[in-house]
Amino acid sequence: MGLKVVALAGGVGGAKLADGLAAILAPEDLTVIVNTGDDFEHLGLTICPDLDTVVYTLAGLANPETGWGRRDETWAFLDTLEGFGGPTWFRLGDRDLALHILRTNRLRSGQPLSQIVGDVCRSLGVAPRILPMTDDRVRTIVLTDEGDLPFQEYFVARGFEPAVRGFRFDGAERARPAPGVLESLEEAEAVVLCPSNPWVSLDPILALPGLRQAVARRPVVAISPIIAGRAVKGPAAKMYREMGIEPSPAAFAKHFGGLLAGLVMDTADAALAPDLEASGLRTLIRPTLMQSREDRRELAEATLALAVDVMKERAAR
Amino acid sequence: MGLKVVALAGGVGGAKLADGLAAILAPEDLTVIVNTGDDFEHLGLTICPDLDTVVYTLAGLANPETGWGRRDETWAFLDTLEGFGGPTWFRLGDRDLALHILRTNRLRSGQPLSQIVGDVCRSLGVAPRILPMTDDRVRTIVLTDEGDLPFQEYFVARGFEPAVRGFRFDGAERARPAPGVLESLEEAEAVVLCPSNPWVSLDPILALPGLRQAVARRPVVAISPIIAGRAVKGPAAKMYREMGIEPSPAAFAKHFGGLLAGLVMDTADAALAPDLEASGLRTLIRPTLMQSREDRRELAEATLALAVDVMKERAAR
């Protein structure tokens, strides 16, 4: 399919849709811009969970059970670390460690993250362009009723238990989009917001200087990560409720203001479509749960079909 | 056996003798001061090969085949690193990595190496006191006919192939002995130089300010690492020849000037004993190859018996 697409992606759902897009688009037509707001320093290593999930997924190396980490992983390092009384709340597999150690060492020597990711993709045979949203340090802080928590502490260590009051993206206002980010948006015919958490996967990307404006200049279609009031994985629905909003595809669309031109939503939410259509949003009703690689591909195809519809409609105006 | 002993140790031979000493001395009576001149930075991690060999050996965790690294090790990290084109010349096992990562992270947060080693020993059940020679940075540089090489580059990456012209211990003159080093020597009734490489395992320790003088105030006994003109392991004999010296227990004793009062030497070198005795050095002829844990214990017992003889002789004077 000949369409230049930029996808914005966060965690597991984002990675799966990116994989579906990679299956139908020529590599040179797909750029995936990945959230780095949940990157963190752990045991002296720089860990980039969303980037790694996207890269491992597109490389066919992701663990199909967890969504994060590598398949065929071993845990000798973590077992030994536990014996030393070291922290084991963040699960670092033996194979996964190779990427963390290489990356940390290269970052410390002054190389930009985007260049390291490019090299990793090349060595894993990942052909589409995967870009961190920025080479600068941005850190998502979750404001909770138990205080401000760095994202991974909230998400992994505390199992997203504390109630959310808001979010902060430390460093975002000074961070420059990584080389290629704004350029790829300028060249894109359509932008896809993957079914990722709006609060902590997509918002950090859109918080970068110039990002939201660059996205807004393109036809934008999204896939709702909320199905029948629930998130497929993770705390998105819980966050909505704690922020005083009923989670739904409509709330997801509203979250982005007027940014979306089209929304793919699950068959379970079909009843919401007429109101959204009436408000000027093009909708497409589809099964959106991605359980197989075929599901990813089909959802990506539907999403791009919706994007093409939106583009035609605009051209006809 | 009630004797307060300080042992100076480097690599595998030193670790084995230290293990023998640990088998016969009460933990509070044994301090092992370990060379850190061959420590190095690799992939952003601080690696301490001699310290780790001593600690793993005393913990019963050492790999019996190699002498270095851990038994029951796995290599998923290194395999993956190789796939990324990362450096694999230094073999980092999955379990071994836990120690390197913990240590590096604690060092970077400002904790002294000696404190970290103490905690590691406690968590592995190693009861005698193991001390790095210094908490400061000392780096052994091997001067070769191919230029000056950092020790691990000479030793591991180049397989000690380049011909040696001399040695330099960068940082030694400004380094302070680690807390406990000079104190333990002051309290020691005898000092043991383990069968370690004199040039690159024992000399760096003795190069620290005040170390040689503190050692010289005690009865010092050593075990020759040279047997019948050869080193059991590593480049000691090759180094002697390249430095223009015929390797032998006599050359080993001479290396330390008048520091040694007694020398344990292998039965293969018995013929050299009379000359050494005539020069005023007490000698003991024993099989010195340590192939079993029993060998380590027996050699340690013989070494301490020689130390006691030297002490009695001095007391009788």
How does pLDDT run across B131-167, given as a tens digit for each residue? 999 999 999 999 999 999 999 999 999 999 999 999 9
**pTM of the prediction?**
0.94
Burial class (CB in 10 A: 0-12, 13-18, 19+), B151: buried
User: CB distance A104–B79 less than 8 Å?
Assistant: no
Full 3-state SS string of B93-105: CHHHHHHHHHHHH
**Dihedral sign computed on CA atoms, order A14, A16, A20, A26:** positive
ipTM above 0.85, yes or no: yes
Cα separations in angstroms, A156 against A91, A149, B109, B148: 9, 11, 23, 47
- The nearest alpha carbon in chain A to B78 belongs to A98
Cα(B144)–Cα(B165) distance, rounded to whole angstroms? Answer: 5
From first to last of the 317 residues of chain A, give the pLDDT tens digit: 789 999 999 989 999 999 999 999 999 999 999 999 999 999 999 999 999 999 999 999 999 888 889 999 999 999 999 999 999 999 999 999 999 999 999 999 999 999 999 999 999 999 999 999 999 999 999 999 999 999 999 999 999 999 999 999 999 999 999 999 999 999 999 999 999 999 999 999 999 999 999 999 999 999 999 999 999 889 999 999 999 999 999 999 999 999 999 999 999 999 999 999 999 999 999 999 999 999 999 999 999 999 999 999 988 98
SS3 of B313, please? helix
CB within 8 Å of B311: residues ≥ 6 apart = B189, B190, B219
What b-and-e string marks burial along A85-123, b requiring 16 or more CB atoms within 10 Å of the CB?
A: ebeeebebbbbbbbbbbbbbbbbeeeebbbebbbebbee
Residues of B in Cβ contact (< 8 Å) with A52: none
Greatest pairwise CA separation for chain A in angstroms: 67
- The nearest alpha carbon in chain A to B42 belongs to A105
CA atoms within 13 Å, Cβ hemisphere of A299: 32
Cα(A276)–Cα(B169) distance, rounded to whole angstroms? Answer: 74
Residues of A in Cβ contact (< 8 Å) with B76: 73-74, 76, 93-95
Cα(A69)–Cα(B175) distance, rounded to whole angstroms? Answer: 43
> DSSP class of residue A277?
H
Which structural domains are found in chain B, ordered by start?
5-142+170-316 (3.40.50.10680)
Torsion of CA A254, A260, A261, A266, to 10 degrees: -70
- The nearest alpha carbon in chain B to A72 belongs to B76
When scoring A40, A102, A120 by the number of chain B Cβ atoms within 10 A, the one with the most, hence best to mutate, is: A102
Cα separations in angstroms, A283 against A196, A199, A258, A289: 18, 22, 14, 17
* Residue B2 confidence (pLDDT): 87
User: CB distance B123–A83 less than 8 Å?
Assistant: yes
CB B20 within 8 A of CB B290: yes
- Asked if B88 reaches chain A (Cβ–Cβ under 8 Å), the answer is no
- The nearest alpha carbon in chain A to B107 belongs to A44
- Asked if A189 reaches chain B (Cβ–Cβ under 8 Å), the answer is no
Alpha-carbon Rg of chain A, whole angstroms?
19
